[in-house]
């Protein structure tokens, strides 16, 4: 079937689907003035991240917008890392490809700046109103739209269909709970999914859930998880921090992408182990920058010696804890870690990316909430790289075991690196599926 006939088919909405889209669009319309007033207040108060560039959330552009062959949409940091890997591979065989990356969060925007070439244009994705999305697509004029993982918007995809722009979901993720929620909104979700040219699913769970939601077998392909092939992070900043603190010869435990109350768990574990392993350095990297000061105050109140990573001179006292209050450092820090804890997993956030420390040959601890990437976590756990922790006592137990037995710790780390090596190939499969491998 030709692309034009696909678009003709996709344009056919039932009465219920049309009403659902109208109702959804009215909700966005009502909410938009509230978001705009919020931005204006934060801008006048000079709050961080509320700058003029963020007006692109309302499809307002104060600078000229470059046309791009590719528009890639990401939510935040994890999706930006996936996009960066795809872009590196695209540019290897097609260096002149022009690319715009959109995000919805400031942390994602910051990661675009840090992890991608300067000639990749960044914009915030507008709120999902037809006029906003139409204005974005008219300005950028992409030949293809790639959406990373799960960030699907009905009006965005409808405008892609309207302009005849193929839209692909890459590294597609769909948890069981998300699929259940989407089924409750089937009159809105089904036409949105029909407007996708291809869904590149991470694993069998995601593939099956998209089928359940109405994606046709012809639209669906299981390409694997691109996160297995994320490029190693630049560790220059991390090396500078380790050298500055003079901790390279000490056991380092990195707690990455943490949420409340995970910092409290790590602090309590540090206290439990302080007498037996006084040389441990605990490095905490909160997921969200706005929590840096709160976490710093929490550590200070605990009585542990703490220093911020942004400090420009060596501390006078021995360091027990380091709070990383900068972006773009975590990936590099894993290469210096003896053991890692991956956050968003004791806190019910679905668990962040365990592959980053595993790729560095580091054993990993995670809490029970791992529904963002269950396949990855299951494989790492089965191979002995990842262990389950529910509380501070569990963290202290595994840290004690691994630091007391170097061979066991190295074996657990090696298992993670082997899992990643065995699962390579997702990037090339994805680029082939979306027609960007030439």
> Which residues make Cβ contacts (< 8 Å) with residue 193, sequence separation at least 6?
152, 199, 210, 213, 214, 215, 219
Give the separation between CA 218 and CA 299, rounded to whole angstroms: 53
Q: What 3-state class would DSSP assign to 270?
A: helix
Q: How many helices (H) and strands (E) does the chain have?
A: 18, 14
For residues 283 and 255, is the Cβ–Cβ distance under 8 A? yes
The residues annotated as belonging to the active site are 79
CA separation (Å) from 283 to 51, 110, 194, 245? 31, 21, 45, 12
Task: For the sheet with 306-308, list strands across it.
Answer: 306-308, 321-323, 281-286, 252-258, 339-342, 364-366, 386-388
Q: Do residues 327 and 242 lie in contact, with contact meaning Cβ atoms separated by under 8 Å?
A: no
Residue (of 340, 346, 324, 191) closest to 264 by Cα position: 346
Residues forming a β-bridge with 286 = 258
Which runs of consecutive H residues, i.e. helices, occur in 213-310? 236-245, 262-273, 292-302
Q: Distance (Å, rounded) from C-alpha 138 to C-alpha 250?
A: 55
């Amino acid at each position: 079937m030709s692309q034009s006939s696909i678009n003709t088919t996709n344009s056919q909405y039932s009465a219920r689907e049309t009403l659902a889209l109208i109702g959804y669009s009215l909700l966005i319309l009502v909410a938009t003035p509230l978001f705009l007033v919020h931005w204006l207040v934060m801008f006048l108060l000079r709050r961080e991240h509320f700058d003029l560039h963020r007006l692109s959330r309302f499809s307002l552009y104060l600078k000229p917008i470059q046309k791009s062959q590719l528009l890639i949409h990401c939510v935040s940091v994890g999706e930006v890392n996936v996009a960066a890997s795809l872009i590196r591979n695209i540019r290897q065989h097609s260096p002149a490809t022009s690319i715009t990356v959109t995000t919805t969060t400031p942390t994602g925007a910051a990661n675009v700046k840090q992890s991608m070439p300067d000639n990749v244009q960044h914009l915030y994705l507008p709120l999902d109103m037809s006029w906003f999305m139409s204005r974005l697509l008219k300005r950028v004029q992409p030949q293809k739209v790639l959406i990373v993982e799960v960030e699907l918007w009905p009006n965005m995809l409808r405008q892609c269909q309207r302009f005849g722009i193929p839209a692909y979901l890459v590294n597609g993720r769909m948890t069981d709970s998300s699929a259940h929620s989407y089924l409750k909104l089937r009159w809105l979700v089904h036409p949105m999914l029909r407007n996708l040219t291809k869904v590149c699913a991470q694993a069998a769970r995601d593939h099956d859930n998209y089928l359940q939601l109405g994606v046709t077998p012809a639209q669906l392909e299981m390409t694997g998880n691109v996160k297995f092939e994320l490029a190693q992070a630049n560790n220059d900043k991390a090396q500078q921090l380790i050298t500055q603190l003079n901790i390279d010869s000490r056991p380092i435990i990195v707690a990455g992408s943490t949420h409340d109350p995970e910092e409290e768990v790590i602090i309590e574990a540090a206290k439990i182990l302080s007498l037996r392993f006084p040389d441990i350095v605990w490095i905490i990297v909160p997921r969200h920058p706005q929590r840096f000061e709160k976490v710093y105050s929490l550590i200070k109140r605990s009585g542990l010696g703490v220093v911020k990573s942004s400090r420009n001179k060596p501390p006078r006292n021995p360091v027990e804890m380091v709070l990383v209050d900068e972006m773009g450092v975590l990936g590099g820090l894993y290469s210096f870690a003896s053991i890692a804890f991956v956050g968003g997993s004791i806190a019910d956030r679905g668990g962040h990316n365990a592959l980053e420390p595993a790729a560095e040959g580091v054993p990993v601890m995670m809490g029970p909430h791992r529904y963002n990437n269950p396949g990855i976590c299951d494989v790492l756990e089965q191979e002995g790289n990842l262990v389950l922790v529910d509380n501070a006592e569990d963290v202290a137990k595994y840290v004690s075991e691994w630091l007391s037995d170097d061979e066991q710790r190295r074996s657990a780390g090696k298992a993670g690196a082997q899992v990643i090596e065995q699962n390579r190939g997702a990037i090339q499969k994805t680029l082939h599926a979306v027609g960007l491998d030439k």
